[in-house]
Structure 1
Amino acid sequence: MRHQKHIIAVFGGREADQKLLEEAEHFGQLAAEAGWIIICGGKGGIMEAVCRGVDAKGGISVGLLPEAKDIEANEYVGIPLATGLGYARNEVLALACHAACAFGGKYGTLSEIAHALNNQKPVAAVESWKIQGVHECNHAWEAFEWIQTQLK
């Protein structure tokens, strides 16, 4: 049997309040401690916060950047991948993951959630879109624990 690490996508916007950024960073720390690989959009805001958390615990984060060059990746992304796909990279994030967690966000986050749900991926959310199929959580640790149950 082949051992495979869990790949967890984190969806969220470039703008978020300090509390939500701290929640995303905590989620990144928990994910790294669990040995999960985090994939995200690789830019600022929520994406930077989760990568900062992963980096602090020595984990692996992958940033799927919308541009054709990786110069706009946040400084904490472990592996920046320039895709040149623009917003189409949202579907790639959703397809590549085993589960996802959304933090806040606007329409880009909504599209990522929709792609994940369309592909039967479990999605947790902290202060994000309240739509059918998304498991609402109050804190990062709650989202982490719920996702953990979905991966078994």
Structure 2
Amino acid sequence: MAVQVSVCGPRDCTEDDRRHARELGRLLAERGAVVICGGYTGVMAEVAAGARAAGGTVVGILSRADREGANPDLTIAIPTGVGEARNNIIVNSGDAVIVVGGSWGTLSELALAMRRGRAPVVQLGGWRLHDQDGNPVPGIRHATTPEEAIRRTGLWS
């Protein structure tokens, strides 16, 4: 069975996030990974475009009950009709989770992935979380480039 990597990120993202997501999709596809994402715009669209251009498989877990608005670079679109609860499906589908950028929805995916505790969680850009004493929250693997994010998943040597 192919390695599955969930890539999470905001609809409204920065140009750096777009560039990182597209490169991340390409690199994951080149490694034979199936990319799991939210299936719409922003980071989701860029990671899908990067993976698709490299011949990869991209699965979009859609919040709606239909495929309206789904990104055309998806290989497979799964309409769930569960709204934001689909975030749990996205993070539970990955052997690793890579978070690109930051938004409230993306933060919920990061929290769900950390709570799950089974797969590595890598953050590329975006928000930094600190505990009540101002210390970085342990367990999140931070990266500054798509290559480093993939390396930090520990899925490839």
TM class by shorter-chain length? over 0.9
The residue number in structure 2 matching 1:129 is: 127
Larger radius of gyration: 2
User: In structure 2, how many angstroms separate the alpha carbons of the residues matched to 1:130 and 1:124?
Assistant: 12
Write the deviation string for residues 76-103 of structure 1: whole angstroms up to 9, x where unpaired. Answer: 1111111101000001111111101111
- Retained in 2: the 8 A contact 1:64–1:93? yes
The residue number in structure 2 matching 1:138 is: 144
Counterpart selection for 2:65 from 39, 63, 68: 68
Aligned residue type for 1:116: A
**SS of residue in 2 equivalent to 1:64:** strand
User: In structure 1, how many angstroms separate the alpha carbons of the residues matched to 2:32 and 2:156?
Assistant: 13
**SS of residue in 2 equivalent to 1:97:** coil
**SS of residue in 2 equivalent to 1:130:** coil
Alpha-carbon shift at residue 105 of structure 1 (Å): 2.3
Write the deviation string for residues 37-58 of structure 1: whole angstroms up to 9, x where unpaired. Answer: 0001001000000000000001
1:85 is aligned to 2:82: yes
User: In structure 2, how many angstroms separate the alpha carbons of the residues matched to 1:52 and 1:17?
Assistant: 16
User: In structure 2, how many angstroms separate the alpha carbons of the residues matched to 1:53 and 1:150?
Assistant: 19
**SS of residue in 2 equivalent to 1:15:** coil
TM-score, normalised with respect to structure 2: 0.90
**SS of residue in 1 equivalent to 2:66:** coil
TM-score, normalised with respect to structure 1: 0.93
Write the deviation string for residues 107-127 of structure 1: whole angstroms up to 9, x where unpaired. Answer: 110111111111112111111
Number of positions where the alignment pairs a residue of Structure 1 with one of Structure 2 = 148
- Retained in 2: the 8 A contact 1:130–1:136? no
Q: Which runs of 5+ in 2 are unaligned?
A: 130-136
Counterpart selection for 2:93 from 92, 96, 115: 96
Instruction: Tell me the percent identity.
Output: 33
The residue number in structure 2 matching 1:56 is: 53
- Retained in 2: the 8 A contact 1:94–1:116? yes
The residue number in structure 2 matching 1:6 is: 3
The residue number in structure 1 matching 2:109 is: 112
**SS of residue in 2 equivalent to 1:124:** strand
- Retained in 2: the 8 A contact 1:67–1:83? yes
Q: Which runs of 5+ in 1 are unaligned?
A: none
